[in-house]
Structure 1
């Protein structure tokens, strides 16, 4: 159970906790949640960022409040304390305090003595569940899946007492929203003999891919997936995302351009607000959690204009899903490790199925062509499994040779390029070493200066004949070339010819490479340095 091996004080039935360090402020025990007020009567945990924390801190300090940290979350606790001293009630104090706050939050505040817990949400996910095992609040369902059948998601502005009531931000009592059923269960998030979540989630990719295909494959060649969304035809596609989700979006965009002749742009979410609105485009916003702040701000910006918004997310009850005109899922199951693995594969497959269906529905791709591509798509789960088996045999020895390398280059051309980007990202996140990706033809325009004797250069080979010349450039300068491709490659996993979505199998290889290197360097592969589970800050 949860308390196996626990040697601390016994719990009295009520409590709050946080599994992350402070994003705002140094990573230290003093800055970690929960934060407390001056008297120690209020304890608070918080996700999000308080934009006017500095001004509130000055006001509160002037009235005698003493702060122990520089963390913005601590300001909330003192502000609630100030309001509670004025009105005498925790929930009313929470409402009054938040009326003065600018920013985002999902918070829980515990009142000593009474054991009351106040909850509030604004721009950050928080859900509650009332069960026979007790009352729960959590930022995502995976945390409480063992005990919960149904749950309710707080809307922006909601203030709730965990066991008694539901109010909006103005303090008016409102009926609670309809409960959602829990899709995940406890064994989905257990290690089941694996040493880490990443290893488990890498191995879950074939099954997860098959699950996504089972849901979508029958609606591709007849255009049904697209038609059921109720969106208008589009002349251009704009992809918005961050990190792994943006890489998946690049794959989806490349396929849409190649097969349908649709102009495609892909924008980093944190820069998307500067784009020019275009009502003739479809905006495809991709976020595993559906709560990535940069993505939410992008789709709420004037740059969206009148263009329809389609969300691709692993969480159909997320904020992004609620903002979108339509939603397409990528049901990968819970992604517990901070570094995305199976969700990348599922985003690619789901997005590919969606765009193939859209191209058929818009008469940009024939049903016959789509049917042939669907046959190839059905083979993906087996291809992922085979790639994993090969990589587990070949990669450990390669990783041993690369442990002392302090920098890595990933190169590819065409459909392989987003996978090179994803491979470099995985290596950065997990090993804390420098890793960059480049179009292979760009090496000679500058990055080749980085290649020295022994410099590891990972080549994601999609069969482009020009790659041979790029590889020769690296070898002439003593670089250590690691090719991921078809038969004859150092890591032979790719199918021939390469599918329109590119060498998806290579992603499995690079996940295993990054994990092996990280473990050899002594790093925690489930909780990489300085990274949080979901991008909750701008």
Structure 2
């Protein structure tokens, strides 16, 4: 994915575009570019690498113009290079285009346009749009954009400016996110609200095949046939400084520390006491519909998929509904059988995840009811779902998801509890115990954050090791998988998340002194089995970092061989990450936070670009 911004008004566009791109850099950072209209011509600056390079270029070669568009790229077609960076220009140099998405039929369009005499200078799919707009342009930029879009297949959000139409900025979308910011004497476009929140808190959220014509004085929304569209103004619910680091070294660190407040926001209005029933606004399901469910399918990508695995475990354990969890990219491939009264729970932080959106549409086409669990309000997935439960995490800027994951699993717990209460399938005392600990979760997470120095000390001990293994069982198998994902994503240490029960079936061959194992061994029904796994690892001189419950007296010495050479790992106590006592079915929340901190500090010690991982 990429990030696009645009500005039209009376101020200088380059600085506003650069500031917006800074807040979109999580969407891509292998190259960047800005184009403005200046004195009847287009002026463009492009760089390879991060936005610091663009800032330096603008100091030596400044841009001047009050109409501009900008782009930060994550390469899909063509390697990172100045030629492949956006904005792309038409053959006559009068049209500039920025794009987020993929044009699926670009190859045939490229061949057609080349035969017609248009000259391509990049390997990208986006450049066809610049030439198509030139081809259709007859003095009306908006109409030319609409006609060009009619030739396209795929997903896109475009920002377009024209040297011959210098008082207009046109934007259009299909499947890729786009918002239009509303100012006074100035207006904006962006891939998400955070990019322009410093400038305005009022936006239009643009839907598929809708076009926005921006001038300094107003905004017109139409469909591709130029029929007017009326759209309510959306007021961004978080403050302007929510997308800033607030004194933290990285956004990831800030977002880890925001989790106590985020959990309070997620609880508000949903769970007030251990004796109260869970309320989920936006679910849009009656008690009868919940009781009639035959199957629940959870689908998502990446970190959100791990939250879905927790959801699957809890939905079967508590509500006794047969449940599955599928990677969204794989769900379509297996052509799943959808029974009557099937619920599909779609999980996404942004609400724009392409594979997840495709899975949603496939499941709806097969007759499933779709409820999405999202963070971003009024996103594409939200608009196409039958019900939406928001996790209330606030903006997440760091590429490696932290608070969104924790809030996703917390929302999975609320949903499973609600379904269990409606269906009457679970022991009321079990549900009450879970709710008691869920209400304590903000304080429990704060306790974990207060122990950060201890986790950094463990990180310093293992940061130089090239490999790691994360083990868990039961409801905390997804915790191990997510912990491994976080570590590999930001530190580039090879990490694998495995079921501890699978250790004997291959992974144990990897254990040696230069591979550290993180074992999730909190209090619960799988603890004794986890202790057995730790003993197997220590017996093979494998270093162990154990996540264990406060007061546990077994694990620190589990597998330690006092007779071994003191330099042998087998003779050394296990490194301990302590978590407060909580019900095992709530423990994924308290396990998630220290594993996030462990990954963060290992990456920080190694000097990696934490908020913007490579590739």
Q: Which residue number in structure 2 is paired with residue 222 of structure 1?
A: 277
Distance 1:294 1:46 in 2: 19
1:90–1:111 CA contact under 8 A, matched in 2? yes
Q: Which residue number in structure 1 is paired with residue 10 of structure 2?
A: none
The two structures, once aligned, show a CA RMSD in angstroms of 2.1
- Do residues 17 (structure 1) and 76 (structure 2) align? no
Query: 1:345 offset after TM fit, Å?
Result: 1.0
Query: What does residue range 60-209 of structure 1 map to in structure 2 within 5 Å?
Result: 60-84=113-137, 87-115=138-166, 116-132=168-184, 134-163=186-215, 164-169=219-224, 171-209=225-263
Query: 1:228 offset after TM fit, Å?
Result: 6.2
**Per-residue deviation, residues 160-184 of structure 1 (Å, max 9, x unmatched):** 2123522212x23222311111112
Q: Aligned pair in 2 of structure 1 residues 325, 395: CA closer, same or farther (>3 Å)?
A: same
2:296–2:322 CA contact under 8 A, matched in 1? yes
Q: Which residue number in structure 1 is paired with residue 473 of structure 2?
A: 413
Q: Secondary structure at the match of 2:420?
A: helix
Q: Secondary structure at the match of 1:322?
A: helix
Q: Which residue number in structure 2 is paired with residue 536 of structure 1?
A: none
Query: 1:136 offset after TM fit, Å?
Result: 0.8
Distance 1:227 1:507 in 2: 26
Greater displacement, 509-518 / 483-492: 483-492
Distance 1:185 1:25 in 2: 38
Compute the TM-score of the two structures, normalised by the length of structure 1. Answer: 0.93
Q: Which residue number in structure 2 is paired with residue 374 of structure 1?
A: 435
- 2:592 is aligned, of 507, 515, 518, to 507
Distance 2:379 2:270 in 1: 21
Distance 2:230 2:489 in 1: 40
Distance 1:174 1:342 in 2: 39
Query: What does residue range 105-504 of structure 1 map to in structure 2 within 5 Å?
Result: 105-115=156-166, 116-132=168-184, 134-163=186-215, 164-169=219-224, 171-218=225-272, 221-225=276-280, 229-231=284-286, 232-233=289-290, 234-273=293-332, 274=334, 275-301=336-362, 305-365=366-426, 369-390=430-451, 392-463=452-523, 464-487=527-550, 488=552, 490-504=575-589
Q: Aligned pair in 2 of structure 1 residues 219, 356: CA closer, same or farther (>3 Å)?
A: farther
Q: Secondary structure at the match of 2:67?
A: coil
Higher relative contact order (CA 8 A, sep 6+): 1
Distance 2:414 2:582 in 1: 19
Greater displacement, 407-416 / 490-499: 490-499
Q: Aligned pair in 2 of structure 1 residues 120, 219: CA closer, same or farther (>3 Å)?
A: farther
2:480–2:520 CA contact under 8 A, matched in 1? yes
Compute the TM-score of the two structures, normalised by the length of structure 2. Answer: 0.82
Query: 1:29 offset after TM fit, Å?
Result: 3.2
Q: Secondary structure at the match of 1:523?
A: coil
- Do residues 518 (structure 1) and 603 (structure 2) align? yes
Greater displacement, 470-479 / 95-104: 470-479
Q: Secondary structure at the match of 1:96?
A: helix
Q: Aligned pair in 2 of structure 1 residues 470, 133: CA closer, same or farther (>3 Å)?
A: farther
**Per-residue deviation, residues 152-210 of structure 1 (Å, max 9, x unmatched):** 111111122123522212x2322231111111221111111111111111110111111
1:166–1:176 CA contact under 8 A, matched in 2? yes
**Per-residue deviation, residues 69-121 of structure 1 (Å, max 9, x unmatched):** 1111112111212222xx33211111111101000001101112432211100
Distance 2:283 2:483 in 1: 34
Give unmatched runs, 5+ long, in structure 2.
1-14, 20-54, 557-574
Q: Aligned pair in 2 of structure 1 residues 227, 200: CA closer, same or farther (>3 Å)?
A: closer
2:283–2:387 CA contact under 8 A, matched in 1? no
Distance 2:281 2:233 in 1: 28
2:273–2:436 CA contact under 8 A, matched in 1? no
Greater displacement, 141-150 / 363-372: 363-372
Distance 2:611 2:120 in 1: 33
Distance 1:304 1:485 in 2: 45
Distance 1:450 1:176 in 2: 60
The alignment covers a number of residue pairs equal to 526
1:360–1:366 CA contact under 8 A, matched in 2? no
**Per-residue deviation, residues 496-520 of structure 1 (Å, max 9, x unmatched):** 3533133322211111121122222
